[in-house]
Amino acid sequence: MVVMTSEATTEELDAVVRTVESAGGSAFVSRGVHRTIVGLVGDVSHFETLNLEALPGVNNVVRISSAYKLVSRENHPETSTVKVAGVPIGPDTFTLIAGPCAVETPEQTLAAAHMAKQAGAALLRGGAYKPRTSPYAFQGLGEEGLKILAQAREETGLPIVTEVVDAQDVALVSQYADMLQIGTRNMQNFALLQAAGSAGKPVMLKRGMNATIEEWLMAAEYIAQRGNLDIVLCERGIRTFETAYRNTLDISAVPLVHSLSHLPVIVDPSHAGGRRELTVPLARAAIAVGADAVMVDLHPEPGAALCDGPQALVDVDLEELAKAVREIPPMLGRTVV
């Protein structure tokens, strides 16, 4: 909707209408006593480049329909289920994803994969490429790590979710991964989003730690634009003024994004809390609020972990998590995968 200034002339109004029509849209003029507004109907993406706000006589432009199309519920009312090598993530089920933060050695990864399976996970997570805040921190094993993950998949039967940090690595990572993960630091790496969208694999898109929900959905739109609607959105905590935990888990995002988008929404409580003792309570909250899956870090020996040891689950915490996963989803009518 274009709102004209109170001084706008008839010529200026005509120019707005002509501009909209030249982009294939229809313009409906509504004259008030003080102001005239122009309603725009048509493909919103065609209006995006018109720069209507800059035309003489225009006061402001108000968006009524969402800026994202392919991922919006507006245009796709039915909730989507994304299948990862046959494992569903969607509205009727609940899926646990678990594994080490990073692939370190074959022994550590296999032990972690067995722990994940034992806890009821249907998918194995693990990073071979680690986007670390410090360049001096462990950066991951690269392709060697992918091979170890493939070995763990072979042993446990669990399909693999693993992060890709660079558009150039998408083809290689796709040879091993069942689902590509895009991390918080890369949520707006548009070249990476497009490459992942073209890879023919489901994509897990984590929310940028400083991203609004609209920015997150616009990032998903980049993947969808490449013809890939197998996208799962992962809330993993955002930056706030609070420093007592690693990030603030934005639990409201789950039902809100479900209302805005047809895509599954999942939660990573490990990277949100950053501390083992917070993971299970946050996971319970995530399940209760309607997350379609939860993804957690675990480690056979957290004290020796090369990445995120303090948040890795082990022993009793893992048993508590397994219990929550068995008990809460059925109360909400979900089948545990």
Q: Write the CA distances from 281 to 108, 110, 317, integer angstroms.
A: 26, 27, 10
Q: C-beta of 96: minimal distance to Mn ion in Å?
A: 17
58: amino acid identity, one letter: V
For residue 119, the SS3 value is coil
Q: Is 250 left (phi over 0), alpha (psi -120 to 50) or beta?
A: beta
Closer to ligand PEP by CB, 57 or 126: give it. 126
Q: Which residues bind Mn ion (CB under 5 A)?
A: 101, 308
Q: Which does 221 bind (CB under 5 to 8 A by kind): Mn ion, ligand PEP, none?
A: none
Min dist. Cβ of residue 322 to ligand PEP (A): 20
For the CB of residue 246, give the shortest distance to ligand PEP in the complex, in Å: 9
Q: How far apart are CA 119 and CA 57, in angstroms?
A: 63
Distances (CA, A) of 294 to 198, 257, 268, 313, 336: 26, 16, 6, 13, 12
Instruction: Tell which residue, 185, 243, 168, has the closest CA to residue 219.
Output: 185
Is 299 a binder of ligand PEP (CB under 6 A)? Answer: no
Q: Check: CB of residue 111 under 8 Å from CB of residue 315.
A: no
Least separation in angstroms between CB 184 and ligand PEP = 4
Closest to ligand PEP by CB, 258 vs 271, is 271
Compute the least distance from the CB of residue 21 to Mn ion, in Å.
Answer: 52
Q: How many CB atoms lie within 10 A of CB 56?
A: 12
User: Which among ligand PEP, Mn ion, none contacts residue 20 (Cβ within 5 to 8 A by kind)?
Assistant: none
User: Taking CB under 6 A as the rule, does residue 183 contact ligand PEP?
Assistant: yes
- Among 271, 276, 284, 334, contact with ligand PEP (rule: CB under 6 A): 271
Compare residues 19 and 139 and give the one whose CB is closer to ligand PEP.
139
Beta strand pairing call for 36-41 and 93-99? unpaired
Determine the Cα–Cα distance for residues 271 and 264; give it in Å rounded to an integer. 19
Among 90, 120, 127, 264, binds ligand PEP (CB under 6 A): 127
**Nearest CB to ligand PEP, comparing residues 25 and 208:** 208
**Torsion sign across C-alpha atoms 230, 198, 168, 187:** negative
Closer residue to Mn ion in complex, CB, 12/166? 166
The answer for residues whose C-beta is within 8 angstroms of residue 216's C-beta and 6 or more apart is: 187, 205, 207, 208, 233, 257
Between 117 and 206, whose beta carbon lies closer to ligand PEP? 206
Choose, by CB under 6 A, the member of 117, 236, 262, 334 that binds ligand PEP.
Answer: 236
Q: Does 206 bind ligand PEP (CB under 6 A)?
A: yes
The tokens describing 222, both together, are 């980049």
- Rule CB under 6 A: choose which of 66, 72, 184, 228 binds ligand PEP: 184
Task: State the binding partner of 206 from Mn ion, ligand PEP, none, CB within 5 to 8 A by kind.
Answer: ligand PEP
Which residue number, 52 or 204, has a Cβ lying nearer to ligand PEP? Answer: 204
DSSP H or E run through 215 = helix 213-225
Instruction: Pick the closer one to Mn ion by CB: 101 or 160.
Output: 101
101 contributes a contact to ligand PEP by CB under 6 A: yes
The closest alpha carbon to 71, from 226, 259, 224, belongs to 224
Interaction site with ligand PEP (CB under 6 A): 101, 127, 131, 163, 183-184, 206, 236, 268, 271
